[in-house]
């Protein structure tokens, strides 16, 4: 592996630049119509990190432990999500006096079904509707290790596996375009795992390509020159085309995912971009991005329901500040302790443990 799994602050900084536009987009902030695209950044980043971890395991052991992988994923993702679900259940029972809604949404979120209920517009989650992207990632985490193991077993070299993954990316893209042509709803196209897996697979293909001498130098060279145009694409394209615009499903989502991959390569390299992303403020935000994503949307909805009449006060700023408070508490008292437990068996020096935790687990 040319880019090892050691901690890279720039990746945390990249998470910050992925999650913050989502917060402002959901808060209705002018100028952030493109903010919804932050989710695609997380898809590409997750596909890259997860595949890199699995490739390392396969290289060392010639196998991939699905149970071990899912256990690590569960320790990373479930504790914070469980606290959110419990908090919403209490809110539903005590504040809005609608316990059935709380139970329904918690059930959908706990079993990672949110994307499909949204895709078919059936029993749509409200306060926890943003967890649709977590559902897609979790379904990917279940299927991808087995599929990757089969691909690696079939291909005698990493390049063979890379060719097969590229074929899968093309197949997913063609499937989405076909559904769009035949009149599938925007909810179906935007939320279906089968229509959004291309971004995760692009990240996976990137992990394989960067482990291949044949592609390594070329990709790094391209990224050094193209990360600025890629950033422009990330902002301009979704600004002009909202998430439900047909053109996003035909070519927009693919273009954004490829641009995100270019930016990711540049962040892993040396130069201006990783120096910017390694700023301590961005790193701090990125390390709390999972909690920010979990808590911001319910906070936005509660703010709109109860506090939208405050004169002279920017509701979005208050909502973002509250999201940071909840995310910080989640990171300190929930996520970090479970991550430390996760690596306690394999790490003996606390300094090494602290250094390794942040980027060893991809998040939403």
Q: Where are the alpha helices (DSSP H) in the chain?
A: 9-26, 38-61, 66-94, 99-110, 114-119, 132-154, 158-181, 186-191, 193-210, 213-240, 246-247, 253-268, 272-277, 280-287, 289-306, 315-330, 336-344, 350-356
Instruction: Report the candidate in 21, 20, 50 with the shortest Cα–Cα distance to residue 34.
Output: 21
Report CA torsion sign: 312, 315, 317, 319.
Answer: positive
pTM score of the predicted model: 0.92
Q: Are 212 and 158 in contact (CB under 8 A)?
A: yes
What is the tens place of the pLDDT at every residue in 247-256? 999 999 999 9
pLDDT of 156: 57
Cα→Cα distances 58→65, 130, 148, 150, 158, Å: 9, 33, 10, 11, 11
1 within some domain: no
Give the CA-trace dihedral at 94, 98, 103, 106, to 10 degrees: -80
**Does residue 187 sit within a domain?**
yes
Q: Is the pLDDT of residue 329 over 80?
A: yes
pLDDT reported for residue 357: 33
Residue-wise pLDDT for 3-33, tens only, equals: 455 678 999 999 999 999 999 999 888 889 9
Residue 3 lies in a domain: no
Q: Give the per-residue pLDDT at 304.
A: 80
pLDDT, residue 53, reads 92
Q: Please state the separation of Cα 224 from the chain's center in Å.
A: 24
Is 207 or 344 the better-scoring residue by pLDDT? Answer: 207
160 is a domain residue? yes
Cβ count within 10 A of residue 41? 26
**Domains in the chain: how many in total?**
1
What is the rounded average pLDDT of the residues 340-349?
59
Is 364 within the bounds of a domain? no
* Residue 50 CB-density burial (10 A; 0-12 exposed, 13-18 middle, 19+ buried): buried
* Minimum mean pLDDT range among 32-36, 62-66, 123-127, 276-280: 123-127
- Each residue's pLDDT tens digit, 330-343: 999 999 998 887 66
What pLDDT was estimated at residue 299?
94
Chain segment 33-89, per-residue pLDDT in tens: 999 999 999 999 999 999 999 998 988 888 889 999 999 999 999 999 999 999 999
Distance between CA atoms of 166 and 331, rounded to whole angstroms? 36
Give, as one character, the DSSP assignment of residue 120.
T
Percentage of the chain beyond pLDDT 70 is 89
What is the spatial distance between Cα 20 and Cα 331, in angstroms, rounded to a whole number?
17
Question: 227-244, pLDDT tens digit by residue?
Answer: 999 999 999 999 999 999
Can you give the pLDDT at residue 309? 53
pLDDT value at residue 352: 29
Q: Where residue 345 falls among pLDDT bands split at 50, 70, 90? A: low
Is 38 a member of any domain?
Answer: yes
Residue 324: pLDDT over 90:
yes
Q: Is residue 362 part of a domain?
A: no
Q: What is residue 195's predicted lDDT score, i.e. its pLDDT?
A: 98
Range of the domain at 111: 9-356
Q: Region 320-349: what's the mean pLDDT?
A: 83
In a domain, 299, yes or no: yes
Give SS3 for 361.
coil
């Amino acid at each position: 592996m040319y880019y090892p799994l050691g901690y890279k602050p720039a990746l945390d900084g990249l998470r910050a630049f992925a999650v913050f536009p989502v917060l402002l987009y959901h808060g209705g902030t002018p100028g952030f119509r493109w903010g919804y695209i932050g989710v695609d950044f997380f898809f590409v980043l997750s596909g890259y990190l997860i595949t890199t971890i699995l490739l390392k395991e396969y290289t060392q052991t010639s196998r991939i432990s699905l149970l071990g992988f899912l256990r690590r994923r569960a320790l990373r993702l479930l504790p914070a999500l469980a606290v959110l679900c419990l908090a919403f259940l209490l809110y539903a029972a005590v504040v809005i006096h609608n316990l059935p809604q709380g139970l329904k949404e918690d059930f959908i979120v706990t079993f990672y079904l949110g994307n499909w209920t949204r895709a078919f517009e059936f029993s749509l989650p409200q306060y926890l509707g943003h967890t649709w992207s977590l559902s897609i990632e979790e379904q990917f985490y279940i299927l991808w290790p087995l599929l990757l193991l089969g691909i690696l077993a079939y291909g005698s070299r990493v390049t063979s596996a890379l060719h097969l993954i590229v074929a899968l990316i093309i197949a997913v893209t063609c499937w989405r375009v076909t559904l769009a042509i035949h009149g599938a709803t925007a909810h179906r196209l935007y939320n279906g795992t089968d229509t959004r897996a291309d971004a995760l697979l692009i990240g996976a293909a990137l992990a394989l390509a960067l482990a291949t001498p044949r592609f390594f130098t070329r990709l790094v060279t391209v990224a050094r020159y193209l990360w600025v145009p890629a950033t422009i694409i990330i902002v301009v394209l979704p600004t002009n085309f909202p998430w439900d615009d047909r053109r996003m499903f035909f070519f927009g989502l693919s273009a954004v995912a490829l641009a995100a991959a270019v930016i990711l390569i540049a962040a892993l390299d040396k130069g201006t971009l990783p120096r910017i992303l390694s700023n301590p403020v961005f790193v701090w935000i990125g390390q709390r991005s999972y909690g920010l994503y979990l808590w911001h949307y319910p906070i936005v909805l509660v703010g709109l329901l109860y506090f939208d009449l405050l004169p002279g006060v920017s509701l979005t700023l208050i909502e973002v500040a509250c999201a940071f408070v909840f995310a910080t508490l989640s990171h300190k008292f929930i996520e970090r302790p479970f991550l430390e437990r996760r690596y306690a068996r394999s790490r003996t020096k606390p300094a090494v443990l602290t250094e390794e935790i942040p980027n060893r687990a991809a998040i939403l």
